[in-house]
Structure 1
Amino acid sequence: MSIALPFLALLVVGAVAAYHRVRLVVWAAATLTALIGCLMLGANITATIVATIFAALVAVPLLVPQIRLPFITQPLLGFYTKILPPLSETERVALEAGTVGWEGQLFSGKPDWDVLFDQPRPELRPDEQAFLDGPVEEVCRMTNDWQITHVNADLTPEIWDYIKRNKFFGMIVPKEYGGLGFTALGNHKVIQKLATVSTVLSSTVGVPNSLGPAELLLHYGSKEQKDYYLPRLADGREVPCFGLTGPWAGSDATSIPDFGIVTMGEWSGARVVGVKLTFDKRYITLAPVATLIGLAFRMYDPDGLIGDKRDIGITLALLPRDTPGVEVGRRHFPLNSPFQNGPIHGKEVFIPLSQLIGGEAFAGKGWQMLVECLSIGRSITLPSTASGGAKFGAVVTGAYARIRKQFGLSVGRFEGVEEALARIGGKAYAISALSEAAAAAVTRGELPAVPSTIAKYHCTEMAREVATDVMDIHGGKGIILGPKNYAGRNWQALPIMITVEGANIMTRSLMIFGQGAILCHPWVLKEMKAAGLSDPEERLTEFDANLFGHVGFAFSNAVRSWWYGFTGARIGKAPGDKYTRRYYRKLNRYSAALALAADTSMLLLGGKLKFKESLSGRLGDVLSQLYIASAMLKRYEDQGRPVSDQPLLAWAFHDAVNKIETAFSAALRNFPVRPVSYLLWALIFPWGRRAQAPSDRLGHKIASLLMSPNEARDRLATGTFLTPCANNPAGRINSYLPKVILAEPVERKFLKALKNSDIEALDFASQLDEGVREGWITADERKQLEELREMTIDAISVDDFDADELRSAGYRRENYDSRAAA
């Protein structure tokens, strides 16, 4: 023991120092003290001297700059420069455009939870709440989704007029320009509620308040442009759209072939310098009805009219609809969710330089402008739409599963249905927390590049899974379209959400970890910037400071990851109460493991990492689930730690942790450097994988929660349109739930007596008559059962049509014309 003691002391002191991330000089002093202590305890002198020499060989070169800089840092700088992945201009702009918030803490391996808790609780302003309770509630009452999606293939003229008059298009426009001046959170809540009645309505309102002319003008527009266009956008005199995507440039927006040539031309009766545009755009939301078109194109100046640069770069401009040469008006037809969407074409369309967003000064800066605004827009419209649909689906499906009976039992009592209800409730809770977190980040003034991609991808993916389970539980009720069907159109619309604003496959495999690994890492971006400095001495000293900060960071994460894995994350400082403290410890564990895996991947793969899309996607899944779990815990804390929400939180958290371990497992099993994958597995999973999917017992609690009135269910339903009116069959079904529950004992009593009787009545009314005569039920209970029957019929009934009603108007006209001609 006396021989092993010095080496054991060396190991323990190093591990403790790494775990707590103490400075190197503190580690050296602690090591020396420990070795002296070993001598005093009778350790072998030779072993102690060997251990001391070993510690000195590590400490002295690192602590003495005259040795470290030329003999360690300089060679490593040369190696680093070789493996540094080359950044394209596109990637550089994307990295510089975003800000880092809580996601940076998750990448640190040692999250400071006070940073999360210090974020203000998301709360609406009084005017935003009044708008939700007033105009938003009213337009929801006006909306008949069947008429929109099947009859008109558009919003009704009354709804178009209403949303323009009430400034739905001007939610993000400041009040000084005549808009509503809402926060991102207010915008989120409006879109969320509109999505519960019609995705066509939520898309129509969401897009002008997302990436488009208003957002771009607010950030980059000239004073003249703001003064003229923003009031007109706010009150609906102008309907905007933005043309970015084309046949040859979808997700790869920087390769757009649309071009503009700087030249002289006529504008408003004068000859001015401008741009002659040729473009071909498609999938442009609101294009068919837009009066103001935002356009992205590559700008060229072959004659040097505005400078020496021929290829100026991606530029953004505003085109009035009536500009000569603009072809717009035709429509695409997106999957039975017919929001206004269509192509835009133009050939040699002339506009003056004053129509460039921001004027001539912003020519060539279009990609930077788009990336910054995409972080905002991607955080709001689609996550909010997904949140509204998922929350709405959870509470209404819970009510339907209680009302709908098979084999004399509510279908929600069958274990297979309970599983689906649990998934719906847990994922709705997660989506709601994630979408609100993304909106809150924008409200705080952040440009959440990484959280916006996490929110867009995971909210829409989980919403697709929720919609599938909603359809499965509703069965025939969900697949027969008509005015009584509130589930089918949402299910049909989900692939649209998956596809737009960055296809989800690309978002997961390229963007989440691809941006996060550099932007959120505490050292990598600093090292890259240091390596790029022009002054050799400054480059060396800056790189030295960041390099060894990174080395210490890596050692710390290896120790922390192993320790948390070895102890099952049961030991360690963590916030929260008795119920949630275990959750925070688990997130501390996986944060350290993510940082370790990310560092290892970047070190060994270098520039090749961005082509390892499967590995990038899996590590992105880990970061995403860490962020989602954090958002749920923050929501739980903000709402005062409600005990009744604990089943929802627990299900969603265990689901997130199971996904984290699944992603880690897949990443390590497929890691291209096999010996390293074994080492990482030992550090991250010293006892193997332990996380499990949520239990059936927990799923039963959530199913029961969704099928009964309670506070947790009400909180989950907050922000959805559940008013029981003629145009809202789902709202009516939800309103029936308390009455149905009150009637269940009477129904059971009646059916039991009926089963044991010998009466011959076959229809329900006659059976009730017999029940009253026989004394099984009272007259009041008879009325209760009649009302229950009416509510059940309303809940389960579906639509049917005359055959000719389902034929298109064009087909009917052609048929009529052919018969008339005959």
Structure 2
Amino acid sequence: MTSSLIALLSLIALLLLIGYLRLPSRKGSGLILTWLVGVLITGSWGNGIWILAALATVILLVINIPALRHSLVSKPSLKLLKKNLPQISETEQQALEAGNTWWDAELFSGKPDWKHLRDLSSSSLTTEEQAFINGPVEDICQQLDDWKITHEDLDLPSAIWQQLKQQGFFGMIIPKQYGGLGFSAIAHSEVVMKIASRSITAGVTVMVPNSLGPGELLHRYGTDEQKNHFLPRLAKGEEIPCFALTGPEAGSDASAIPDTGIVCKQDFDGKKDVLGIRLNWEKRYITLAPVATLLGLAFQLQDPDHLLGDETNVGITLALIPTDTQGVRIGKRHFPLNIPFQNGPIWGDDVFIPMDWLIGGVAQAGNGWQMLVECLGEGRGISLPALATGAGKLLSHTTGAYAGVRKQFGTAIGKFEGIEEPLAEILATTYIMDAGRRLTATAIDQDQKPAVITALLKYQLTERMRVIVNHAMDIQGGSGVCLGPDNYLGRLYQAVPIGITVEGANILTRSLIVFGQGAIRCHPYLLDEIKAAQDDDLAQLDKTLFAHFGFVFSNLSRSIWFGFTNAFFESPGTPMTRKYYRRLIRLSAGFALLTDYALLTLGGTLKRRERLSGRFADILANLYLCSAVLKHFEDQGEPYADQPLLDYSCQSLIHDAQQAMLAVFYNLPLPWAGKVLRFFMFPFGKPYSPPPDKLIHATAQLAIKPSATRKRLCAGIYLSDSPDDLTGRIEYAFQLAHQAKAAETRLKRLVKDGRLTSMTEESRIQEALEKSLINQDDADLLLKAREAMLNAIKVNSFEPETLKSSGF
């Protein structure tokens, strides 16, 4: 009995060791063979061990004899996979081929290479880029009056438009050889973030020409002639670009574009029988369309007379069209939630263009979908995350200051536990957003094109912006609700849905793209298996399939091991970060295992299980953002004062990943198998909790006191401490409140001791001064701080006639 038990336990330990170390099949087979020999020598065959030995022998034979493996496993699997694996359409294939994988693939592997991430050199601004931010960007921000822009002029001032054009704001991504600024991704991000912290309208206006649009498309795919002609004009602002993709019947499903272009011949520009395209389209929600001089257009190209080749339906194609071309109609402006950036519909009625107006020329006809997907990374990975992070930093800085000076019951509201909770989440969420923004920009700067990560980042950061803005509204109450020249928060609140809907609606990004594409693109074997099954390539399938079996076995082994040890024996990171690396290691192994379980049990139907796909996307997103937080903290030198931000961020992200993983367990097929997997991964129940109250308090305190941590967190946005500035007045009051803190404490003590009898604060200050209980300097400081506080919390009011005439 004892020898049999030892034999059984030794086999389990051996299998777990093989899987944990991911040993090659030959080494693993050798170790199992050694176990068999040991069992034979010791005679430990009783109580069913011989059954395990026989099973191990069969497995060894199947793994190591190709002919046996082919007939028993690979051939039957080929038929099963052809039936159950998801079919990849042409547009899906183009999307999968666009961009590449990066840290997302590491997380899907179940065994991320943390050394690679930690050794990654983070992007930093050049001297020229920093000078641009300190100079032209700062100057623009000082001039922006968001109330005037959003309520009175409904546009940027003409002087700002001129500066944006002349100083190269619309050509940040255009190389210097064409007259652009040639900025890095991190510089692009920093510029948008700073401007957006001052005015969303201005931020969007700068963002669009540097995101998905003619500039990037020309730079990547344009002919030399197109680049030489258009890029210098775009860089100088002589041309204002827009890109028309979304239509009434094709928004997120851009592959279903109904707009058409027919290849034909027609007289054009004084020439006869010019080979070209007759276009008809209807587009809407096109940013900069009302002021654009150059239109990028996506359409379905058809060649019924085969003037280009054998294909009748050539596919999605992109063209560059001057907006003064005959047949182009620009409509009236849309008005997106009181954020009046230039946006509107645009039509084309029998617009004829020559073939050399196609972006990239005839050679790129039909390649538009892949071109678009590759270029979406700028908007998804840089511009929109920068805009969202700018909002987070602004609210961390200003709402924190507001909570530090606004008083109820004689106490700053930031000290109330009810306020601490949303305030702490504002700060930690901003920290998370900034970490994700910087890591993704670094990847792009190093020539990575992580399509899944940029989609993930866009949906996560714009959703987190929604959370932050709502919390800020709760804290500021009436002063946030009542619009006016002194309200810096109301327009941000109105702007939240804009970022959530553009560059792919967040609902579809979460439920279809992140995991739907990520599972195929990032999984180390799935795409090869799909291709092998579709091509009836038995040899390739056999090779990939058995590698996949080993992969699943490894993640199962690692999940079991980590479930009982919480990855305690893993050692990446530093003493301050190691525990979080261990948790990510554990969850990554579980995520990889769950992914394979879902693929095995659901097959091609997983594409239609959008709620399940969304939960998987949440796991991946939280793992990625937590990786970014750890990288960010270490890159900043691990400042001890920032530890509350690190702890709150990591604990909330890891807890959210765990909860999404548990939700997956409850919704997978074969519930009994899901329960077994859950026991293996979480044998002692839920291991990770959300941030505790003590940590919430420590994090919130960072917002209501001046500190180096607050400066680091809010760095990169427009800051002012002028009492006449929209947000500077709040910072001015915040700084004065802390200068007057000691004097205020003495005043409160005098009231408590009964030495002052006046009812109002001003009269108490005067009484204390008259009784020589405080000196003149203290009295002046207290009065000055109170006046600044009242200025910081003031709310605008209007005459009824003014409201009627304003269109409120």
Give the TM-score taking structure 1 as reference length: 0.95
Instruction: Tell me which residue corresponds to 2:467.
Output: 465
Q: Secondary structure of the equivalent of 1:122?
A: coil
The whole-number CA distance in structure 2 between the counterparts of 1:735 and 1:227 is 50
1:784 is the counterpart of 2:785:
no
**Equivalent residue, structure 1, for 2:624:** 627
Q: Is this contact kept in 2: 1:141–1:727, CA < 8 A? A: no
Distance 2:14 2:762 in 1: 83
Find the counterpart in structure 1 of residue 546 from structure 2.
Answer: 548
Distance 1:303 1:37, change over 3 A: closer
- Take 2:46 and 2:62, find their aligned partners in 1: how far apart are those partners? 24
Following superposition, the deviation at residue 35 of structure 1 comes to 4.3
The aligned amino acid for 1:21 is R
Farther-moved stretch of structure 1 (762-771 vs 781-790): 762-771
Q: What's the RMSD between the two structures over aligned residues?
A: 1.8
Aligned mates of 2:759, 2:650 — CA distance in 1: 50
Q: Deviations over 1:215-252 (max 9, x none)?
A: 10011101111001100100111111000001111111
Q: Is 1:648 equivalent to 2:645 in the alignment?
A: yes
Task: Indicate which of 555, 559, 562 corresponds to 1:561.
Answer: 559
Question: For 1:411-422, what aligned pairs fall within 5 Å after superposition?
Answer: 411-422=413-424
Aligned CA distance change for structure 1 residues 341 and 786 (closer, same or farther; 3 Å): same
Q: Choose the corresponding residue for 1:775, options 772, 775, 794.
A: 772
Deviations 1:596-627 (A, max 9, x none): 11101111111100001111110111011000
What corresponds to 2:21 in structure 1? Answer: 20
Kept in 1: contact 2:406–2:413 (CA 8 A): yes
Name the structure 1 match of 2:367.
Answer: 365
Counterpart-to-counterpart distance in 1, 2:8 and 2:561 = 19
For 1:225 and 1:284, locate their aligned partners in 2 and report how far apart those are by CA, in whole Å: 23
Contact 2:601–2:669 (8 Å) recurs in 1: no
CA–CA distance in structure 1, aligned partners of residues 248 and 286 of structure 2? 12
Q: How does 1:338-737 map to 2 (within 5 A)?
A: 338-533=340-535, 539-569=537-567, 571-725=568-722, 728-737=725-734
How far has the Cα of 1:309 moved from its partner?
A: 1.9
The residue identity in structure 2 corresponding to 1:565 is G
CA distance in structure 2 between the partners assigned to 1:142 and 1:294 by the alignment: 31
Distance across 1 between alignment mates of 2:17 and 2:637:
36
Q: Distance in 1 between matches of 2:528 and 2:149?
A: 52
Q: Secondary structure at the match of 2:243?
A: strand
Q: SS at 1:276's partner residue?
A: strand
Write the distance in 2 (CA, Å) between the matches of 1:626 and 1:766.
56
Query: Within 2, Cα distance between the matches of 1:42 and 1:310?
Result: 73
Q: CA deviation at 1:70?
A: 2.9
Q: CA deviation at 1:528?
A: 2.1
Deviates more, 1:630-639 or 1:19-28: 19-28
User: Percent same amino acid at aligned positions?
Assistant: 46
Q: Which runs of 5+ in 2 are unaligned?
A: none
In 2, distance between residues paired with 1:73 and 1:303? 46
Give the secondary-structure state (helix, strand or coil) at the position aligned to 2:346.
strand
Per the alignment, residue 797 of structure 1 pairs with 794
* Residue of 721, 742, 747 corresponding to 1:745: 742
Could you say which residue in structure 2 is the equivalent of 1:93? 94
Q: Cα 1:233–1:752, aligned 2, differ >3 Å: closer, same or farther?
A: same
Correspondences of 1:273-352 after superposition (within 5 Å): 273-352=275-354
Q: Tell me, in whole angstroms, the C-alpha distance in 2 between the residues paired with 1:291 and 1:40.
A: 85
In structure 1, distance between residues paired with 2:372 and 2:276 = 22
The CA distance in 2 between the partners of 1:789 and 1:312, in whole Å, is 70
- How far residue 302 of structure 1 moved from its aligned partner, in angstroms, is 1.8
Check the 8 A contact 1:13/1:27 in 2, yes or no: no
Looking at structure 1, the residues matched to 763 and 672 of structure 2 have their Cα atoms a distance apart, in angstroms, of 78
Q: Which amino acid counterpart does residue 398 of structure 1 have in structure 2?
A: G
Structure 1: how far apart are the matches of 2:759 and 2:56?
A: 92
Shift of 1:38: 5.2
Q: In the alignment, does 2:79 pair up with 1:78? A: yes
Greater shift, 40-49 or 111-120, is seen at: 40-49
Return the letter of the residue paired with 2:727.
A
Q: Which residue of 2 aligns with 1:188?
A: 189
CA distance in 2, matches of 1:411, 1:230: 52
C-alpha separation in 2, matches of 1:612 and 1:86: 15
Decide which moves more: 67-76 or 582-591.
67-76
1:164–1:236 contact (8 Å) kept in structure 2: yes
SS in 2 for 1:729: coil
**Matched-pair contact (CA < 8 Å) for 1:281–1:343:** yes
Q: Quick check: 2:289–2:330 contact (8 Å CA) kept in 1?
A: yes
Q: CA deviation at 1:389?
A: 0.4
SS at match of 2:575: coil
| Contact 2:722-2:732 at 8 Å conserved across structures | no
Q: Do the aligned partners of residues 761 and 564 (structure 1) sit closer, same or farther apart at CA in structure 2, a change above 3 Å counting?
A: closer
Q: 1:306 to 1:349 in 2, by over 3 A?
A: same
2:152 aligned partner? 151
Q: CA deviation at 1:583?
A: 0.6
Query: Which residue in 2 is equivalent to 1:815?
Result: none
* In 2: Cα distance, 1:392 partner to 1:331 partner: 29
Q: Which moved more, 1:758-767 or 1:458-467?
A: 758-767
Cα distance in 1, alignment partners of residues 431 and 806 from structure 2: 42
Q: Is the 8 A contact 2:413 2:419 kept in 1?
A: yes
Is this contact kept in 1: 2:665–2:678, CA < 8 A? Answer: yes
The residue that corresponds to 2:237 in the other structure is 236
Corresponding residue SS for 1:216: helix
SS of corresponding position for 2:740 = helix
Task: Give the whole-Å Cα distance in 2 for the aligned partners of 1:791 and 1:726.
Answer: 7
More deviation, 718-727/780-789: 718-727
Q: Deviations over 1:428-470 (max 9, x none)?
A: 1111111122222111111111101110011011110000001
What amino acid sits opposite 1:420 in the alignment?
Answer: P
Structure 1 unmatched ranges of 5 or more: 812-822
Is the contact between residue 263 and residue 301 of structure 2 (CA under 8 Å) also seen in structure 1? yes
CA contact (8 A) 1:221 1:359 kept: yes
Q: CA deviation at 1:804?
A: 2.7
More displaced 10-residue stretch of structure 1: 768-777 or 360-369: 768-777
Tell me whether 1:268 sits opposite 2:269 in the alignment. yes
SS in 2 for 1:306: coil
What is the alpha-carbon distance in structure 2 between the residues aligned to residue 762 and residue 584 of structure 1?
A: 56
- Report if aligned partners of 2:756, 2:768 keep a CA contact under 8 Å in 1: no
* CA distances 1:450-491 after superposition (whole Å, capped 9, x unpaired): 101110011011110000001111111111111111111111
Give the letter aligned to residue 551 of structure 1. F
After TM superposition, the score normalised by the length of structure 2 is 0.97
CA drift at 1:755: 5.8
What SS does the corresponding residue of 2:345 show, helix, strand or coil? strand
What amino acid does structure 2 have at the position aligned with 1:264? K
Shift of 1:307: 2.2
**In 1, Cα distance between the equivalents of 2:351 and 2:164?**
31
Distance 1:760 1:75 in 2: 92
1:63 Cα deviation (Å)? Answer: 0.5
**Alignment partner of 1:139: what SS?**
helix
> SS of 1:312's equivalent?
strand
Instruction: Indicate if the aligned counterparts of 1:170 and 1:234 stay in contact, CA closer than 8 A.
Output: yes
Task: State the shift of 1:42 in Å.
Answer: 7.0
Q: Deviations over 1:20-78 (max 9, x none)?
A: 11122212222233344456667458976655433211101211113212332222122
DSSP-derived class of the 2:109 partner: coil
Q: 2:807, 2:593 → 1: CA distance?
A: 62
